[in-house]
Copies of this chain bind each other. A is one copy, B any other.
Amino acid sequence: MTPEEFRKMGYQIIDWIADYRAKVDDYDVMSTIQPGDVRNKLPKSPPESRETFDSILSDLDDAIVPGITHWNHPSYFAYFPGNAVLSSILGDFLSSGIGGVGLNWQSMPALTEVEEVVTDWMRQMVGLSSEWDGVIQDTASTSSLIALLCAREYGSDYSQMNTGLQKSDSPLVVYSSIQSHSSVKKAALLAGFGLDHVRFIDTDENYALDVKKLESTIKADIENGLRPCAIIATTGTTSTTAIDPIADIATIAETYDMWLHVDAAMAGSAMILPECRWMWNGIEKADSIVINAHKWLGVVFDCSLYYTRKSEHLIRVMSTNPSYLQTAVDQETKSYRDWGIPLGRRFRSLKLWFLIREQGISGLQERIRRDMENAQWLFQQIEATPEWEVVAPVQLQTVCVRHIPDGVADDELDKHTLRWANVINSSGAAYLTPAILDGRWMVRISIGAENTTLDHVKALWSTMQDAVRSTDE
């Protein structure tokens, strides 16, 4: 494909995306195809000879579009806001269009330096001190794994990098709340701690980590000859956006010489609002933080910001320096390959850079405030309505809800909950995702798609009331 062919077909792709985004409201939010429907429309074998661009675009419309769940639909209330603001997409286009790979500074100097600048912009935007260094990872799962790898090697004078965890007599232990994200458990397993050495601490009535239980568990472990290693606290849990008490947890981490990682994957974006920063009070005592700019903030996936106050340690854990990657300027420049797992990296800072410049801090703040207000509106309606219950504090943009018909039996309630959520999802009118809280299903309503206005939230509330009525019949 020549640059001139690319120009022509590129316009077609731009038109396709612009048209898609302009009419995204017309689609059912959640794809309603059956498993295999996309696969069965595509050839089982690759083409021997080149195909026309038109045939590719035609398959896109016929086979792929029906299999898209529309995260940018204004009635998307599932999982988390996975916003892909159009300006960030243009930044990402440049990353792909320039091509190439960041391996060290010399292989793409601008890639390293824009990432330095833009992660520092975000540091300032969320109110962190200049002690923090940032780097872009793919996801919070990876960021949490990196945090635990750093924790594993910290305070061991790096001897474990030689002996491995295999020779340790007193195993290292990781702590988080029962409400922490599934990736915390996964990271602990992958990092080799072993499930026997991961503690999921109970939470209080607001689903925040219970600090007293944390400390008593740590003490018991020490008495049993184990070594407390890391705490993962969460600012904005996945199920209910609960807020762990960072300051108190930091005191414990300090007392027992543990690594403190803060998972602010979702709520980190809200820290650009000064009025929200109480939520991670004490954050300056943490060792690492993850904020997913690809969620609520609006950078097209993937853009997970990992901040640490111990970047030298991170580099020591992650660094490799083979001859084929050495250059004359290595001493004066950053090599982000030593800040994470992959060697090569995309020019991901461009999409964050485009977003921040096109929206400005004030534009981003405005949108996040809007979503929090809309969540409060919905909270008030639900609280005021018989048979409906908000089951967790609404501190951010997620409203967790149950509809409890009079006299419903306990074992019927779960079925009822999943049934009305499914009525809504399969209708195409909105998309929301259930989760289990206190052993029973509830429905999470995650507000914050870029184009979700109060009207969409009002429509959802009406749809919800219709849905529970329809399941009665």
- Contact present for B94 and A17 (CB under 8 Å): yes
Whether a CB of chain B sits under 8 angstroms from the CB of A113 is: yes
- Contact present for B20 and A97 (CB under 8 Å): yes
* Set of chain B residues within 8 Å of A107, measured between Cβ atoms: 69, 78-79
Residues of A within 8 A of B (CB-CB), count: 160
Whether a CB of chain B sits under 8 angstroms from the CB of A363 is: yes
- Contact present for A343 and B114 (CB under 8 Å): no
- Contact present for A106 and B69 (CB under 8 Å): yes
Interface segment, one of A256-264, A377-385, A431-439: A431-439
A7 to B71 Cα, complex, angstroms: 20
- Contact present for B195 and A192 (CB under 8 Å): no
**Closest B residue by C-beta to A170:** B166
A193 to B167 Cα, complex, angstroms: 10
* Set of chain B residues within 8 Å of A182, measured between Cβ atoms: 320-322, 325, 343
* Set of chain B residues within 8 Å of A139, measured between Cβ atoms: 341-344
A108 to B78 Cα, complex, angstroms: 12
B-facing residues in A49-86 (Cβ within 8 Å): 49-51, 53, 55-56, 60, 63-72, 78-79, 82-86
Contact of A361 among B46, B87, B110, B322 (CB under 8 A): B46
Interface segment, one of A30-38, A209-217, A246-254, A306-314: A30-38
Chain A to chain B: the 9 pairs with minimum beta-carbon distance, closest first: A164-B194, A84-B99, A67-B110, A71-B100, A192-B192, A17-B97, A10-B14, A323-B436, A324-B435
- Encoded as 1 (CB less than 8 Å from any B CB) or 0, chain A from 10 to 54 comes to 110111111111100000001101011111001011111111010
Interface segment, one of A155-163, A388-396, A405-413, A457-465: A155-163
15 new A-B contacts at CB < 8 Å, known A4-B18, A67-B108, A324-B435: A6-B14, A31-B109, A35-B109, A35-B333, A37-B113, A49-B361, A56-B354, A72-B99, A72-B100, A83-B99, A84-B96, A89-B96, A145-B341, A166-B168, A238-B324
* Set of chain B residues within 8 Å of A181, measured between Cβ atoms: 322
Whether a CB of chain B sits under 8 angstroms from the CB of A386 is: no
- Contact present for B165 and A164 (CB under 8 Å): yes
28 pairs of residues in contact across A and B, judged by CB atoms under 8 Å: A13-B97, A31-B108, A35-B332, A38-B110, A38-B114, A42-B114, A46-B125, A51-B357, A63-B110, A66-B110, A67-B110, A68-B110, A78-B107, A82-B99, A83-B99, A84-B97, A89-B99, A92-B96, A140-B343, A141-B343, A166-B192, A166-B197, A183-B343, A185-B320, A186-B320, A190-B341, A239-B324, A324-B435
* Set of chain B residues within 8 Å of A356, measured between Cβ atoms: 46-47
Whether a CB of chain B sits under 8 angstroms from the CB of A90 is: yes
Task: Give the Cβ gap from A445 to chain B, nearest Cβ, in Å.
Answer: 13
How many of these chains are in the complex?
Answer: 2
A354 to B105 Cα, complex, angstroms: 30
Whether a CB of chain B sits under 8 angstroms from the CB of A129 is: no
A69 to B165 Cα, complex, angstroms: 40
**Closest B residue by C-beta to A78:** B107
**Closest B residue by C-beta to A172:** B166
- Contact present for A45 and B160 (CB under 8 Å): no
- Encoded as 1 (CB less than 8 Å from any B CB) or 0, chain A from 350 to 363 comes to 00011011111111
Whether a CB of chain B sits under 8 angstroms from the CB of A1 is: yes
**Closest B residue by C-beta to A186:** B320
Task: Give the Cβ gap from A240 to chain B, nearest Cβ, in Å.
Answer: 10
Whether a CB of chain B sits under 8 angstroms from the CB of A220 is: no
A413 to B138 Cα, complex, angstroms: 42
- Contact present for A48 and B325 (CB under 8 Å): no
**Closest B residue by C-beta to A302:** B346
Interface segment, one of A116-124, A274-282, A368-376: A116-124
Whether a CB of chain B sits under 8 angstroms from the CB of A9 is: yes
* Set of chain B residues within 8 Å of A238, measured between Cβ atoms: 322, 324
A145 to B362 Cα, complex, angstroms: 41
Contact of A3 among B86, B111, B140 (CB under 8 A): B86
Whether a CB of chain B sits under 8 angstroms from the CB of A444 is: yes
